[in-house]
Chains A and B, each alone.
Chain A
Amino acid sequence: MCGIVGLFIKDPALEPELGRLTAGMLETMTGRGPDSAGFAVYGAGEDGRTKITLRGTSANAIRDTVSKIEKAFPDANAILHDTHAVVSIATGDGIRFDHWLADECGETEVVGRGNRMEIFKEVGLPADVAARFGLATMRGTHAIGHTRMATESAVTTDGAHPYSTGQDQCLVHNGSLSNHNNLRRELRREGMTFETENDTEVAAGYLTHRMHEGLSLGDALEVGLNDLDGFYTFVVGTENGFGVLRDGIACKPAVMAETDQYVAFGSEYRVLADLPGIGQARIWEPEPATVYFWER
């Protein structure tokens, strides 16, 4: 199972509604994924600064981490969201920050980083996860979300989606990969590290690796059609938009809607039913083995 939602806003007037609409879509997908939920929101960015989303083992732990960061990096701004914090640092401090974090706060995970992307994920019902992080009040240009029904690995926050694939990039997945163990071994040989036994983390690592080799995200998804064995619908968030790819058999569901105001993705039509103007939207199912991208 698993449920995926995505909302890419074309009309800036709708940007303040991004979080509220995404939270509703995520909750509708509870039946497809009650184990854990997560989402990436692309909000405001600032030139010369990088946003790093951190996750602690608890809300207290992340608060401790943030107070240490504020001492070590006086220039940093941090916003706490339950077990997560979004820390904005000068982009030039990035490498120093990573070393410092590994030395001083080894238990704190980096969930994602980028100019605009923030990622939040936790174990629990989608509505509870969305409420804990305050998704409904977030604004931005686009968001992707995931509700997980675990099949390939344990129900843990590490096993929750989205997975970051690079700066301002993340991946959510509905399906399961059958060659993830082999692919993980091959990618480890290339020097990549993996935190979990999860198949989606391997898909994210695979795309990251291909892009390090010089491919664009679209091209990496294309070659992935040959290398990723299994069934999947992927939705990929990028700084300026999102992409969709289904495997060649396309047994995992996907429905899309487009109006003048937005492009929306749902595992089922129910996800889209409450969006504004849905009655007049163009509704269709993305073709198998075809890479789709929306950007602005």
Chain B
Amino acid sequence: MPDIDLGVTPLRELNGALHKLPKDTNETHWVIENPAGQHAIAAGLDAPLNVEINGPVGYYCAGMNKLATVQVHGNAGVGVAENMMSGFVHVSGDASQAAGATGRGGILRIDGNASSRCGISMKGIDIVVKGSVGHMSAFMAQAGHLIVFGDAGDALGDSIYEAQLFVRGDVRSLGADCIEKDMRDEHKAAIHDILSRAGFNGDVDPSDFKRYGSARQLYNFNVDNAGAY
């Protein structure tokens, strides 16, 4: 089990070593100490690794992640798991802006709060936030699910496409073309499925959430708006 001290080992050396690992490597469990908020730690992984980071990370941690499980024991800076393709990223503290931005797959779990623009332009990723999310979250969100146990800030889901948003607490305001929708059984099943895969063992009731999504008035061309172009 490699144990890397980022106070000693240069970040590029660590990321280079992680990138070189073949998909069938036996060296799957990595522990990283002293991250001290450095940027792009464990970004670009492409193997079924389990990377544990003990401390706060900076920007783009686990960005573009494929297959790997990355656990951050601390807070994460801007763009954690941005453009994630698959795998599981778990932040035990808070996450800064644009968590999970443009993510295409996998699960991002944040145990604290996520700041503004969480899930901006998400394209298939599932994001679970135990705390609250900031303003403009799920802006232009195209596919995937954002599940928030706490509250959502202003302009949730502004200009949203087909992502599904579930919020248990209050939503300060909805963005353009985002509306509350009925919770049907299929949505409760989707929440249940994502939460089980994110490590929640039936201790959250999917019925407590409200669903938000697109009114589909903005992204389809409407001839009545022709004069606006």
Instruction: Name A's B-contacting residues (CB within 8 A).
Output: 249-251, 253, 255, 268-270, 272-274, 283-285, 288
20 extra interface residue pairs, beta carbon distance < 8 Å, beyond A255-B96, A268-B37, A269-B77: A249-B136, A250-B116, A251-B97, A253-B78, A268-B59, A269-B56, A270-B37, A270-B38, A270-B39, A273-B36, A273-B56, A274-B36, A283-B75, A283-B93, A283-B94, A284-B94, A285-B94, A285-B96, A285-B115, A288-B116
Interface majority SS on A: helix, strand, loop or mixed? loop
Query: In the bound complex, what is the Cα–Cα distance between A253 and B96 (angstroms)?
Result: 9
Asked if A268 contacts B58 (CB within 8 A), the reply is yes
**Chain A hits for B59, CB < 8 A:** 268
Chain B residues touching A, range: 10 to 19
CB B82 to nearest CB in A, in angstroms, measures 15
Minimum C-beta distance from B13 to chain A (A): 18
Contacting pair A270 B36 (CB below 8 A) = yes
With an 8 A cutoff between CB atoms, is B90 at the interface? no
Verify if B104 is at the interface (C-beta below 8 Å from A).
no
Residues from chain B with Cβ under 8 Å of A274 in the complex: 36
Residues of B with Cβ closer than 8 Å to A? Answer: 36-39, 56, 58-59, 75, 77-78, 93-94, 96-97, 115-116, 135-136
Which residues of chain B have C-beta atoms less than 8 A from A273's C-beta? 36-37, 56
CB of A186 to closest CB in B, whole Å: 30
The contact sample of 29 A-B pairs, CB cut-off 8 A, is A249-B136, A250-B97, A250-B116, A253-B78, A253-B96, A253-B97, A255-B96, A268-B58, A268-B77, A269-B37, A269-B56, A269-B58, A269-B77, A270-B37, A270-B38, A270-B39, A272-B37, A273-B36, A273-B37, A273-B56, A274-B36, A283-B75, A283-B93, A283-B94, A284-B94, A285-B96, A285-B97, A288-B116, A288-B135
Report the minimum CB–CB distance from A273 to chain B (whole Å): 4
Q: How far is the CA of A202 from the CA of B37 in the complex (A)?
A: 33
Contact of A269 among B75, B97, B136 (CB under 8 A): B75
Which 6 residue pairs across A and B have the least CB separation, nearest first?
A269-B37, A270-B37, A273-B36, A273-B37, A285-B115, A269-B56
